[in-house]
Amino acid sequence: MMTILAQPDLTAYRERIAALELPVWMPVMASEAKDGDAVRGSILYSYEPEQVTIFNVADQGDLACLDGLVRSVLFKAQLRGIGRAVFRVNDPAMRSRLEMLRFVKNDENILENIAEIMDSCKSCRKNPETT
Domain that holds residue 63: 2-126
Q: Is residue 11 part of a domain?
A: yes
Per residue in 51-89, pLDDT (tens digit) is 999 999 999 999 999 999 999 999 999 999 999 999 999
Domain count, the chain: 1
Mean pLDDT rounded to a whole number for the chain: 89
Per residue in 31-45, pLDDT (tens digit) is 999 999 999 999 999
Q: What's the pTM value of the predicted model, to 2 decimals?
A: 0.88
Q: Is residue 121 part of a domain?
A: yes
Q: Is residue 22 part of a domain?
A: yes
Q: Is residue 23 part of a domain?
A: yes
Q: What is the CATH number of the domain that holds 16?
A: 3.40.630.30
Q: Is residue 87 part of a domain?
A: yes
More confident residue, 125 or 98: 98
Q: Is residue 74 part of a domain?
A: yes
Long-range Cβ contacts of 84-87 (<8 Å, 24+ apart): 84/50, 84/51, 84/52, 84/110, 84/111, 84/112, 84/113, 84/114, 85/51, 85/52, 85/53, 85/54, 85/110, 85/111, 85/114, 86/51, 86/52, 86/53, 86/54, 86/110, 86/111, 87/53, 87/54, 87/111
Q: Is residue 131 part of a domain?
A: no
Q: Is residue 99 part of a domain?
A: yes
**Rounded Cα distance, 55 and 45, in Å:** 6
Residue 14 has pLDDT above 90, yes or no: yes
Per residue in 82-123, pLDDT (tens digit) is 999 999 998 899 999 999 999 998 778 999 999 988 886 554
More confident residue, 23 or 83: 83
